[in-house]
Amino acid sequence: MEKNSIEYDVIILGSGPAGLQAAVHAARAKTRVVVLGRVQRSSLFKAHIENYCCMDDMVSGEDILEQGRRQAEKFGAEFMDVDVVGIDLLDDGTLSARLESGEALHAPAIILAMGVSRNRLNVPGEKELLGKGVSYCVECDGNFFRGEPVAVVGNESAAFSGALQLLLLAGDVHLVYQEARVDEHLKFHVESSAIERHEGTWVKSIAGQNEVERLELQSGEELNVKGVFIELGAKGALDLAANLGVMLDPESMRYISVNKKQETNVPGIYAAGDICGPPWQMAKAVGEGCVAGMEAAVYAKKHRRTA
Ligand SMILES: Cc1cc2nc3c(=O)[nH]c(=O)nc-3n(C[C@H](O)[C@H](O)[C@H](O)COP(=O)(O)OP(=O)(O)OC[C@H]3O[C@@H](n4cnc5c(N)ncnc54)[C@H](O)[C@@H]3O)c2cc1C
């Protein structure tokens, strides 16, 4: 999959307030920084903030994010409006972030600032059958559906790459989407695979007594499936971190565990913002992003590749 690779010092996953603040501090420390992610997916994008320090007028989240990006760019950070589909630990101890295009970016340090977003479909049966066939994470639950018919719902890369992944595990794989919002490379892979595509429709309801039995589509089709993976939005942090052995907070098992330097248990991997747990506040995200950016820059300078 890897087409070519680009070298950085610090790769930041997430362009919300945590990622942006990390970028400002890492770039000011004279490191090569790239920020990945789609600004529209930040929780802040549609919010209006009136409790952030020193801003006494209500400010739109969209404006804050736009200014934050300009500020980070001013200090030299680069931006790519893409999702990361995987992170790999390389033999030399550096890290590689795989993009949906197949490209890979390398760096000694990565900051996970992907927030928390598990968008719901909000259809009948979704809540009732959660954990009984309904899942929000292909990487976490795909294994439970070995040889079984499954459906993935979503318009974006998370759904498309999730469906490809399930093809290796499950039986029939259906992909339900209104319109494909993925790059041509991924689209081509899906279209030339055995995935059964249901384009231009959406889910009406998920049916079943004690477990998922059927997915009912607005087009009138009924899919007999055992599993429904709702993948709306970018891949969640936990999926990406799981492969690397990044530890979760032992109480909730839902957030990434960090120390006061925002270090995870894996050298070179830092985390900041909502991904580290509540409270869901911009002030916390920014504070953690600042620490992560500074610390990652120090680490990266010490562990730069020599080649
Ligand atoms: C409706 C609403 C109102 C709110 N009101 C307030 C308020 O009044 N005051 C306040 O302080 N806070 C408020 N918040 C909370 C605040 O928005 C969040 O705490 C803050 O945005 C968290 O920042 P973050 O950088 O951790 O994550 P986010 O801002 O959510 O950013 C996550 C980033 O990660 C990216 N990403 C995700 N997956 C991937 C991937 N696989 N590859 C690459 N990038 C990825 C996304 O595209 C996004 O850019 C509100 C939130 C909402 C939803």
Which domains, ranges and CATH numbers included, belong to the chain? 5-117+236-302 (3.50.50.60), 134-230 (3.50.50.60)
Ligand 1 pocket, residues with Cβ under 6 angstroms: 13-19, 36-39, 41-44, 46-47, 49, 51-52, 83-84, 113-115, 234-235, 273-275, 280-283, 285
Q: How far is the CA of 63 from the centre of ligand 1 (A)?
A: 14
Average model confidence (pLDDT) across the chain: 91
Q: How far is the CA of 275 from the centre of ligand 1 (A)?
A: 9
Q: How far is the CA of 250 from the centre of ligand 1 (A)?
A: 23
**For residues 25 and 295, what is the distance between their CA atoms, to the nearest angstrom?**
9
Which ligand 1 atom sits nearest the alpha carbon of residue 37?
44
Q: What is the pLDDT of residue 240?
A: 85
Q: How far is the CA of 274 from the centre of ligand 1 (A)?
A: 7
Q: What is the pLDDT of residue 156?
A: 84
Provide block-wise average pLDDT over 10 residues at a time, the chain (307 residues): 75 97 97 94 84 92 97 98 91 91 93 86 93 78 90 90 93 97 91 97 97 97 97 66 87 86 97 90 96 98 81
Q: What is the pLDDT of residue 234?
A: 39
Cβ count within 10 A of residue 173: 28
Q: Could you tell which of 21, 42, 65, 117 is best to mutate to test the pocket of ligand 1, judged by most ligand atoms within 8 Å of the CB?
A: 42
Specify the amino acid at residue 74.
Answer: K
Which ligand 1 atom sits nearest the alpha carbon of residue 235?
41
| 83-109 confidence digits (pLDDT tens) | 898 899 999 889 999 998 889 999 999
Which ligand 1 atom sits nearest the alpha carbon of residue 274?
26
**For residues 67 and 189, what is the distance between their CA atoms, to the nearest angstrom?**
37
Q: What is the pLDDT of residue 5?
A: 74
